Structure formats: structure tokens, C-alpha cells
A and B are shown apart, each in its own frame.
Chain A
Amino acid sequence: MSTESAPAPQGNVAEEQRPRIAVSALTTNLREYGLIIALIVIMLFFQFTTSGTLFKPVNLSNLVQQNSFIIVMALGMLLVIVSGYIDLSVGSVAGFIGALAANMMVIWQLGPLSNPLVVSIVCLIVGGLIGAAQGYWIAYHRIPSFIVTLAGMLIFRGICQALLGGGSSVGPLPDGFKALSSGFIPDVIGPLTLIPPTVNAAGKTILGSGLTLHMTTVVLGLIAVLAYAYFGVRTRRKRERHGYEAEPFPLFVIKTLVASALALFLVYEFASYRGLPVVLLVMGVLISLFVFVTKRMTIGRRIYAMGGNPKAAQLSGINTERLTLLVFINMGVLSALGGLIIAARLGQAVPAAGLGSELDVIAAVFIGGASAMGGVGQVIGAVVGGFIMGVMNNGMSIMGVNVDWQQVVKGLVLLGAVIFDVYNKNKA
């Protein structure tokens, strides 16, 4: 049997340990960074085929605003899939929440309750309740999640359409609400003009780009990059102080430098347009939160254990039913947030909002390396997977590829990514 490995003789263990750690650090890192490298390659490919449109600041802002709802929902879906379940209802729930929000703000005239902030909070709570209702059957009655959420997909799409009175849309939504998707953070520091333009008598710019930077964005970006580097170094120091070998130092430096350079490049891009999109900030906060929860918190650990072996998790004292319920409540809240983002971006609620997006969300998680069997998957993987889908959508649209063929390409990429993963695992 391949799972049986003969116990190594004692003397060799210490000698073998060092190179093995280096090799394993390299292979795990390769697998992890492979995805990010794939994203960069895809971006460069589209940068080339769209003759530079992809990386234009305005297009990057668009790209983020178009795909943020997929990534927000992918965070919830990652936990669902790691737990060993699936949720097909997220697109319909998002559509329903959009319709609910629009009705509350535009049609129903609820007075102070029609305030966008209040509406958003109510909608997130409703999303959580929907998640709880579905999760209850899955967790406590062991009804397969595929079936429960398939039912949810039909039910909430139906309610969404009913709320919108058949085929019509409800809008326009208040500007304050739309800022969630299409707004940018205010520049509290004030813009900085790089190289002020020198204009000649004829009114023609002869020197300087006249480029102004959104300084709040720049400062926030610098803080984020410095924090990233600081925490990286601190963790490394801590490991060394405890006498444990971290990843090889050159690898660490390269990793930090490349990540920082990429981040600074993006910061520059956003700062040279209208600053950081609000939705990107929301997304960034959520991504950090979910990375922390999955990597550092006990509940995250328990979710992975439950997905890896539910019986063993239960026999280790983990309340797997309650945990399942929580995972679906979380999914419901994030679906609701996704629904709000979609409605805010469109400026109105439409019956088809979020239609089919569950498939994009699930694809993002699987491209990101999660296992359909549960127990395996990373937040960063799902996020990068989401961006890969988003960049392909955006790039192919700019190239003028027909929507039909876009689907074919996305399907092939999903299949290819998973085959690559399985092949890698079997080889290891």
C-alpha cells in the first residue's frame, strides 16, 4: 500500500531533515505561487492582446468593480467547500437581496428605514437568516447540501422575480447606496500633481505629464505594504527565536519584494485614476479577515478538520452540526453583501441579477485549489481564482470575443486548473 511508509531508522532522521524541509518549502510554495504566477501570465497575455487597455487605471477600477461580488461570495463558498458542502443558491440569494434592498429604498417608502445604511444592515441580517434556514436542514437533518441549496436557488430566484413584479426592474437607487460599488474613497489628504505640466503660449503641454495622484490611496497603500513586510519579518523572527527553521531567507526576500512591488504598482494605478474603489477596500478588509480566521483561529481549524474527516472531528469534541450551520450563515451574509454590490453597481435591481453567478463563484474556489472532497483550500487561492475568472471576462470582452466563446474558454480553464491540481497531488 502506498500510504504505508516504513519507519525511517533513527540515525538518518536528523540528517535528512534539513534538505527535506528546504525541498518541501519549495514545492509547497511553488504550488501556492503557481496560481499567482498564472494570474500574472494571464494578465500580461491580455495586456498584450488588448494593446495595453487591460492595465489602464480606469479599466483596472472597472475590473475590480465588476468582479468584487464574485470574490466576496467566493470567501463564503471557500468555507462551504472546505467543510465538504456546496451552495448553489448564492446567485439567487444575491438577486433576491438586491430586489429586497431596492424595494425598501425606492418602492416601500419606509421612512428612516429606507436609509441605505439601515437597508444594507437589514439585508445582511436577512442573508444570514436565509443561510441559517438552509444550513439547518443540512446540519441537523443531514439533507445533502446540493439538494437544499438547489431548492434555495429556485425559491429565491422566484421570490426575487416576484418582488420585482415579473420582468421589470426597480430603480434608480440612491447615490449614497451606489457608492458601495461605484464610489471611491475620499481624498482627505488632497491630490498631488506629479511634475506640473508646463504649458506654452499656444496652450500645448510641452513638459510634464500633469498626472495627479490620489494621496490618500498612496498613503493607505504604503501603510498596507509596510504592514505586510513588518508582519512577515516579525513572524520570521519569532520562528527563529523558538529555534524553528522558517522558509529559506532568499525565498522570503524575493516573495516579499515581488508582492510589495505588485501591490505598489496597483496602488499607483488606482491613485492615478480616482483612488481606491470603496468596494476594493471592503473586499480587502474581508479577505484579511478570512485569511486570519482560516489560518489563525480555532474555528477555522475546526472547519478544515470537519471537512477532512467529519467523524474524527466529531469524536474530537467538535460540534460539527453547529459549525455547519455557522458556515452557511456566513455564506448567506456574504451572498447578501454580493447582492447589495450588484444592485449598487447597476443602480437598480433587475430580475436577472446574480443569475448564474453561483457557477463563477464555485469555479473561482476550485481554480483556487480547493478539493471537492472537502478539507483542502485556501482563501488566497479562492481570491486569485476569482481574479483569474474576472481578468478573463474583462480581457475577452475588450478583445471582442463573443460571450458564447468566453464561456467555453472559462470552462476549459476551470477543467485545466483542476486537472493540473490532481496531477500534481498524485505526483507528490
Chain B
Amino acid sequence: MTSTILEMRDITKTFPGVKALSNVNLSVEEGEIHAVVGENGAGKSTLMKVLSGVYPAGTYDGQIIFQGQECQFKGIHDSEHKGIVIIHQELALVPMLSIAENIFLGNEHASYGVIDWDANEARTSALLKKVGLREDPKTLITNIGVGKQQLVEIAKALSKEVKLLILDEPTASLSEKDSQALLDLLLEFKRQGMTSILISHKLNEVNRVADKVTVIRDGRTIETLAKQDISEDRIITSMVGRSLDDRYPPREPDIGDVVFEVKNWSVYHPIHAERQVIKGININVRKGEVVGIAGLMGAGRTEFAMSLFGRSYGRRITGEVLLKGKPVDVSSVSKAVQHGIAYVTEDRKTYGLNLIDHIKHNITLANLGGVSRHSVIDDMRELAVANDYRKKTNIRASSVYQMTGNLSGGNQQKVVLSKWLFADPEVLILDEPTRGIDVGAKYEIYTIIARLAAEGKAIVVISSEMPELLGITDRIYVMNEGRIVGEMPAADASQEKIMRAIVRGEGKAA
């Protein structure tokens, strides 16, 4: 005998310029594990933020009915009060506080502001037992691994009398063993009658624990599969099944010799010194070729690109970079730039732009030598350059003196692109070049990429959007867990093939 604990009806959420969710429906029954799957950017996390009140009632359309009551959450506090607890991908623990302090943070057993530590620790011990974590409640969070931190988060959720537990990619950064333990714990909770929503890309995990799967794509619910219908193939088809019409500019590849080659590239994590993030990668790119690197978040693609670009990520970097067959030194960003390598970051606000300065200064920053003589900047030449690139990349702004912080995402991306185009690279590495920008701006970015390739540049595009890779690249590498697990000409590739390579590591066989 089951009853519906949660129903989300016709949820629509719009951000400036982007419709993140349109008429999404989700119905969860009491006591089940309900998986929500979809590509990166499909809208899963947005949906969960709507549910937990991160986006308060009124900023979206639609209804949320929890335990038979319509709810209007104004913040996380409201949803937690009802027993809906979300555990985010990035854990929200304070590293320098103990397990007990974290679990009862903001919710301490106290009288008149004086904390009763004995009560806190006793309750913590009981909770830790429930989640199967054998640690002293006084242990600092920073001293335990990510897997155990995840369990602390769950214990924290349990301390709030949780009725519906939402886990957003809980195993993304866990080892195989920790992941299994976590999934076992979920099954155990289910036996005790708790309801959970599991958001995951890892279809084998979904397959193992989920009672139902809802597939979301492009901000819409595609279907909800019942237990007997769940299979990886079915989910994959449902996840990626969209048509590739003319969302990409036409292009006739004119591919020459190998320009850029990376051999045996290995990188270790900057903090966890024993963790190898990139494991012996070999890739090459030809003149005029657009090469894609596909993979899910956390596959190590950005880490790979940034470690190539002047060792901007990681430690103990080994391997070789060859430009036109000759080994080159890329040990600092300026050396990499001098050799004609450019990296356009995935995170333009944090790594790409000086948001408190205007377009002109941002465009020339990576190549100040190009607008100066004897280190003195020629203001007129700089202005001409900025206006030229503003025209070339179609940056929409009142003038080149507009602050980049006030531009829309698409125009910011064009400023970052302009900066690197002005540095005149041979090899251009674009990391998620169309993340968070609208369809029109995407097309413009694709057009620029096609033009650069036609000019004979070697281009690497890292993207989590598979249709994009299929639409604009000539050849695709598939990356997973720090390795290249597949390579295929774009003409032969399909989203299913890429997904299979990622999920099963079958890329080369397929």
C-alpha cells in the first residue's frame, strides 16, 4: 500500500534569457528511491532547488504538494521544517569544526545560548551509528575523507527528522567502495520506510537501487520509468534523444598535419598528493581541426586543460607537449601563450574576466605587447583593437568602455574569446564555451569556432553537451576518470556511443 508523498506539478522556472524548467512533473511515492537522471544542464539541480526552497515560492510557476498539502517554501528553513532535506553535490560542512559541531550547527542542544556538549555528542554518536560511521564525534571534518564526510551530511539530515532525503550526485567524488556503502545505506533507509530522491549520472547505480526513474532533458520531463522498465539503454536513449537540426553553422573541414600533441600527460591532485587526477593522456590535434573532449563533470577535462596551460592546476605534472613535432616548454602561462597556446576558461567570472574593468582592458590583457611599444601602451591602437574585436565577435555593449561585470553571459564569453583571439594562438582550448548562454549567442560562438578552424587554427573544445560536440567537431575524445576512454570521428559518433563509452568504458570497442 503506497501513497504519494511528493508531487511537483507543472514546475516552470525562468532565468533571464533561459528557460531552465518548463512544465516539469515529478511524483514520488512514500518509501521509494526515486532517481532523477539527465545530462548536465538538463535542469535536475534547478528542480531540486525549487523543491528545497533555494528558489523561493513566487520565483517559479507550478505547485508543490508534500504529504497532501500544497507548500510555498520561502527558504531552505521552511522545507527542512517539513522534513525535506537536500544534500548538495558540494558538501556544506565547516572543515575546522568537529563532526558533532557540524551536525548540530545552528541547531545545537543549548539552554540560554550555552551549549550542552554531552547531549550533542551523545546524539551524534547515535546518529553516526545509524549511518555506519565509526568516528569520534570530536574528530574534525578536515581529518576525515570525502566518503565519510558524505555520511556526516546524511547523519546531519537524519538529525532533522527527515521525511524526504534528496541526494545530489552523492557518489560523484567517492571511490567505488564508498559509493557501494552509500548505496547500501540508502537501501537500508528504504527498509526503514524513508523516501529518497537520488540524482545521478551513474546509470549502474541508478539501476541498482532505484524503484523509479524520471528522465529530464532540456528542462522537461521526458518520462518516468517503473522498476521493470529500467535499463541503461532505455535511460540513455531517453536522456539524449533529441534531434540535431541546424543549430550549428555549416562548415567544410580542411584538415592538415598534426600541430599539437600531448603525450603521456599525468597530473596529481594539488592537495591530496596521492590522488592521480590525470592518468597518462595522449591526444593530438591537426591544423584546421576541431577536436572535442566529451565526458561528465568530474571526468578531469578542465584539470587536464589547465595543467597543460602553464601548470595552472595540479602537482607532479609529467608528460610532453609537442607543437608541430617539437617539444615545447609550457611550464608557465606566459610560456604557453608565447608558444601559441590559449585556454578559454569554463568559469569566465572567476578565471576569465576582470569584472570591475571595461571591455577594452580585458581584451588586450593577454597580449599587452601587441598594443604597446617599450612597455608604453598606445591608447589609440588599444581602442582600435578593442573595437575591431567587438565587431568581429559581435559583442553587444554600449561601447568598449562598458564594465564586463554588467554584460550578459554570452557577451562576457565573447570578451574572453576576443582576449584570446587577440593573443593570436595556434592552438585554442575552449572549455565549455557555451555554458550558461542563450541559443543565439551559442550560434555566434560556433560560427567563430568554425571561422578559426578555417583560418587553420587547431581547436580543442571541451563540452558536456554532447549534441554540441557532435555538431561542431571533427573528432571526439571521450574522457572519464582522468583517462581517455574512447576516440571516434564525429561523423561516426552518436550520443549513445559517447554515453556508452563513458558509462561502460567501451568506447574503443564500439
Contact surface of A with B, Cβ cutoff 8 Å? 1, 3-8, 10, 13, 16-17, 20-21, 24, 238-239, 242, 244, 296-299, 301-302, 304-305, 308-309, 311-319, 371, 375-376
Contacts and interface: CB of A to CB of B under 8 A. Distances in A.
Contacts of B396: 7-8, 10, 13
A298 B372 contact: yes
15 contacts: A5-B408, A6-B16, A296-B376, A298-B369, A304-B354, A305-B354, A305-B365, A308-B354, A308-B355, A312-B365, A313-B354, A313-B365, A316-B366, A375-B354, A376-B356
B410 A312 contact: no
Range class of the B interface residue count: 35 or more
B351 to A, nearest CB: 5
Contacts of B343: 315
A305 B357 contact: yes
B415 to A, nearest CB: 11
Given A296-B377, A304-B361, 18 more contacts: A8-B398, A16-B398, A17-B399, A239-B380, A244-B380, A296-B376, A297-B377, A298-B368, A298-B376, A301-B365, A308-B355, A309-B350, A309-B355, A313-B365, A314-B312, A315-B312, A316-B365, A375-B356
Contacts of B355: 308-309
B398 A317 contact: no
B440 to A, nearest CB: 8
Nearest to A238: B380
B17 A308 contact: no
A7 B383 contact: no
Nearest to A376: B356
A296 to B, nearest CB: 5
Among B333, B345, B411, the one with the most A-chain Cβ atoms within 10 Å of its Cβ is B333
A312 B352 contact: yes
B405 interface: yes
Interface in B367-418: 368-369, 372, 375-377, 379-380, 383-384, 396, 398-399, 401, 405-411
A13 B16 contact: no
B332 interface: yes
Nearest to B338: A317
Contacts of A297: 372, 375-377
B354 A309 contact: yes
B340 to A, nearest CB: 12
Give the secondary structure class of A's interface.
helix
B453 to A, nearest CB: 23
B419 interface: yes
Contacts of A24: 401
B309 interface: yes
A199 to B, nearest CB: 57
B128 interface: no
Contacts of A311: 350-351
A189 to B, nearest CB: 33
Contact of A5 (B332, B380, B384, B407): B407
Nearest to B353: A312
B379 A4 contact: no
B353 A4 contact: no
Contacts of A313: 354, 365
B447 interface: no
B334 interface: yes
Given A242-B384, A298-B375, A301-B365, A315 B408 contact: no
A20 B353 contact: no
Contact of B351 (A17, A308, A312): A312
Given A1-B16, A17-B398, A312-B353, A317 B377 contact: no
B356 A7 contact: no
A308 B350 CA distance: 11
Given A16-B398, A305-B357, A309-B353, A6 B405 contact: no
A16 to B, nearest CB: 7
B435 to A, nearest CB: 15
A299 to B, nearest CB: 7
Given A242-B380, A305-B365, A315-B343, A6 B17 contact: yes
B337 interface: yes
A308 B357 contact: yes
Contact of B406 (A5, A16, A239, A376): A5
A301 B360 CA distance: 12
B410 A7 contact: yes
Contacts of A308: 354-357
Contacts of A6: 16-17, 408
A242 B386 CA distance: 14
A244 B383 contact: yes
Contacts of B16: 1, 4, 6
Interface in B109-148: none
B399 A20 contact: yes
B17 A299 contact: no
Contacts of A238: 380
Interface string B325-344: 00000001110110000010
Contacts of A8: 396, 398
Nearest to B354: A308
Contacts of B372: 297-298
A238 B336 CA distance: 36
B398 A20 contact: yes
A7 B351 contact: no
B309 A315 contact: yes
Contacts of A296: 376-377, 379
B427 to A, nearest CB: 15
Interface string B256-268: 0000000000000
A86 B351 CA distance: 23
A239 B353 CA distance: 27
Contacts of A10: 396
Contacts of B406: 3, 5
A302 B377 CA distance: 12
A309 B355 CA distance: 8
Contacts of B351: 311-312, 315
B411 A7 contact: yes
A376 B377 CA distance: 19
A6 B18 CA distance: 11
A310 to B, nearest CB: 10
Contacts of B337: 317
A22 to B, nearest CB: 12
Contacts of A312: 350-354, 365
Contact of B357 (A1, A304, A318): A304
B133 to A, nearest CB: 34
